[in-house]
Structure 1
Amino acid sequence: MTAAASRTARLTPTVLLSLALVYVVWGSTYFGIKVAIGSLPPLGMLAVRFLLAGALLYAFLRWRGAPAPTVQEWRSSAAVGLLLLGGGTGLVTLAERDASSSVAAMVLAVSPLFAALFARLWGERTGGREWLGIGVGLLGIALLNIGELHATPLAAFLLILAPLCWTFGSQWSRHLPLPGGLMGSAAEMLAGGLILLLLSLGLGERWGTPTAASLWALAYLTVFGSLVAYSAYMYLVAHTRPALATSYAYVNPVVAVLLGVGLGGEHLTGLGWAALGVILTGVVLVAWPRREGASGTQASA
């Protein structure tokens, strides 16, 4: 049985729980990042976040008797960590210096489209309803960007590059020899955190005196954004089709906008609120389970 065939099209309780965690928690991390980098260096903050989360998860799993990753698995984990955590999360964090948390989440909603395109490199297919859902979701993102939330050209470029790195790394990870279960998440966070630390040192980032708000945000990002939601996402990557695994990118803007407007003083026009309904329609089209006998289910389930 191929890797594609082993992934389910059914919304099992575990899949639903993982989706809920990724939808809600990652939607809130955009605002959390904005607060954290208020007094912490962007890449250095991420390095601490992922090294702490990875070390805690790794120590717990080893205590429970999980085998340590092999040399080959560490290499694969480093590649995935570089693309997802360095290129994906790292570029988003750098962009949020000059962009609102709402804009960051909205631009990243192109992730399902990139995921579907990259999945085809490995022979996986995307169904017609999924393409329709992706198109509807992107229409909602276009409507949101007509509003009053804007980013600088550099920040916009970083926000486009980030999902390219993230989705390519996600699809490639399905075909790499990674540690099994949660040990894969731990190894990727440790490797990615180390890469981010080296980048922070190489770029000469300086640490000042952090505010209490930044430290609380860092703690939230470490526990919920990394330990909980990242592990849930990697489960989805391994067990569901690409469009469903990345459908969080349509819900995250809803959560991010609500937090940005409610707590961060960001502004959203009436057109933007209407666009959120379009985005949620795209989510339903992407996430709705296929019929078991539908053409192409085995290739992309």
Structure 2
Amino acid sequence: MSAGAAPASAARLTPLVLLCLGLVYVVWGSTYFGIKVAIETLPPLGMLAARFVLAGALLLLALRARGVALPTTREWGASAVVGTLLLGGGTGLVTLAERDASSSVAAMVIAVSPLFAALFARLWGERTGGREWLGIGVGLIGIALLNVGELHATPLAALLLILAPLCWTFGSQWSRHLPLPQGLMGSAAEMLTGGGVLLLLSVLMGERWGTPSAASLWALAYLTVFGSLVAYSAYMYLVAHTRPALATSYAYVNPVVAVLLGVGFGGEQLGPLGWAALLVILTGVALVAWPRRVPDAEAV
């Protein structure tokens, strides 16, 4: 992944961009349920540390076998910043919150990511249009509606679910302006450094490993291979090659997939007010992520 915004020619809806979008949409929608299963018998932060360190190490070894150079000291530092914000702050806070909140509700709260992305993009001079501001407002109304009707969680879990997308989207936007390693080596470095931060936090919090169930181990394997190796690498490609609202538009599909899995397989329930909140949130996201009318040189 290169530093700074991608050139306009790389920002179009190419087949590779569409493939990455599809992977992030579907796979990440399923990871909320996977996390819920994994932390039934595994420590939350320790599970994530194992997931990202293993995925990052496998990816780095595969790249080194192909002759890809290791990151420089400067690139490792930038990767640590992004890995800490996205994986430690974003994924880590969601995982901690899911101890006291359903996977469905967690995914619905994280659906506001494109709204935060539009706000943070302004820090680096990207314009936020009137329709995007409207979408941000609509999305926040949906979150308020969700809190009234369906956010059956402790105050701490609710706070973590709000902080998680703030960390994730701020880190995503900052990553476009940091000297990160090229291509998949950037993903490997971010997972290794982010996983290392999560491991340190796990130790500091005194997490202990018991005897994990087979279901938790299968969930961890799925999260490692598909949630990290496949989908995270696809997402970082999108961050580097598309505009912020499109890169985070996985929020269209993720909540729907998460709700279907949570209700269908996890015994979770969502009332009429919850479904209404989901519709309002997705409407806000649609207003933010809908392509702008721009000259061909800047089209996405």
TM-score under structure 1 length normalisation: 0.91
One-letter amino acid matched to 2:71: P
Question: What's 1:264 paired with?
Answer: 266
TM-superposed deviation, 1:69: 0.5
Partner deviation per Cα, 1:145-203 (whole Å, 9 max, x = no partner): 44334111000111111111111111111111100001100000011111111111121
Query: Per the alignment, in what secondary structure is the counterpart of residue 176 of structure 1?
Result: coil
One-letter amino acid matched to 2:34: G
Alignment counterpart, residue 22 of structure 2, candidates 16, 20, 29: 20
Partner deviation per Cα, 1:6-46 (whole Å, 9 max, x = no partner): 25663222222211111111111111101000000001000
Alignment counterpart, residue 41 of structure 2, candidates 13, 26, 39: 39
Q: What is the distance in 1 between the residues matched to 2:137 and 2:110?
A: 14
Q: What is the distance in 1 between the residues matched to 2:146 and 2:113?
A: 16
Asked whether the 8 Å contact 2:116–2:169 carries over to 1, the reply is yes
Alignment counterpart, residue 157 of structure 1, candidates 156, 159, 164: 159
Q: What is the distance in 2 between the residues matched to 1:14 and 1:287?
A: 19
One-letter amino acid matched to 2:259: V
Question: What's 1:207 paired with?
Answer: 209
Question: What's 2:126 paired with?
Answer: 124
Question: What's 2:230 paired with?
Answer: 228
Cα distance change of structure 1 residues 5 and 35 upon mapping to structure 2, 3 Å threshold: closer
TM-superposed deviation, 1:275: 4.1
TM-superposed deviation, 1:279: 4.0
Cα distance change of structure 1 residues 279 and 9 upon mapping to structure 2, 3 Å threshold: farther
Unmatched runs of 5 consecutive residues or more in structure 2:
none
Question: What's 1:249 paired with?
Answer: 251
Unmatched runs of 5 consecutive residues or more in structure 1:
none
Question: What's 1:74 paired with?
Answer: 76
Q: What is the distance in 1 between the residues matched to 2:162 and 2:199?
A: 23
Q: What is the distance in 2 between the residues matched to 1:20 and 1:142?
A: 29
Q: Which moved more, 1:127-136 or 1:64-73?
A: 127-136
TM-superposed deviation, 1:65: 1.4
Q: Which moved more, 1:188-197 or 1:104-113?
A: 104-113
Question: What's 2:116 paired with?
Answer: 114
Query: Per the alignment, in what secondary structure is the counterpart of residue 10 of structure 1?
Result: coil
Question: What's 2:7 paired with?
Answer: 6
Asked whether the 8 Å contact 1:126–1:243 carries over to 2, the reply is no
One-letter amino acid matched to 2:14: T
TM-superposed deviation, 1:243: 1.4
Asked whether the 8 Å contact 2:38–2:215 carries over to 1, the reply is yes
Question: What's 2:64 paired with?
Answer: 62
TM-superposed deviation, 1:280: 4.0
Q: What is the distance in 1 between the residues matched to 2:239 and 2:140?
A: 21
Q: What is the distance in 2 between the residues matched to 1:61 and 1:36?
A: 28
Alignment counterpart, residue 172 of structure 2, candidates 170, 173, 177: 170
TM-score under structure 2 length normalisation: 0.91
Question: What's 2:185 paired with?
Answer: 183
Q: How many residues align?
A: 297
Query: Per the alignment, in what secondary structure is the counterpart of residue 253 of structure 2?
Result: helix
CA RMSD of aligned residues (A): 2.2
Partner deviation per Cα, 1:78-102 (whole Å, 9 max, x = no partner): 1111111111111111111111111
Q: What is the distance in 2 between the residues matched to 1:159 and 1:233?
A: 20
Asked whether the 8 Å contact 1:250–1:279 carries over to 2, the reply is no
Q: What is the distance in 1 between the residues matched to 2:91 and 2:134?
A: 27
- Overall identity of the aligned pairs, in %: 83
Asked whether the 8 Å contact 1:78–1:191 carries over to 2, the reply is yes
Alignment counterpart, residue 217 of structure 1, candidates 216, 219, 228: 219
Asked whether the 8 Å contact 2:80–2:193 carries over to 1, the reply is yes
Query: Per the alignment, in what secondary structure is the counterpart of residue 179 of structure 1?
Result: coil
TM-superposed deviation, 1:257: 1.0
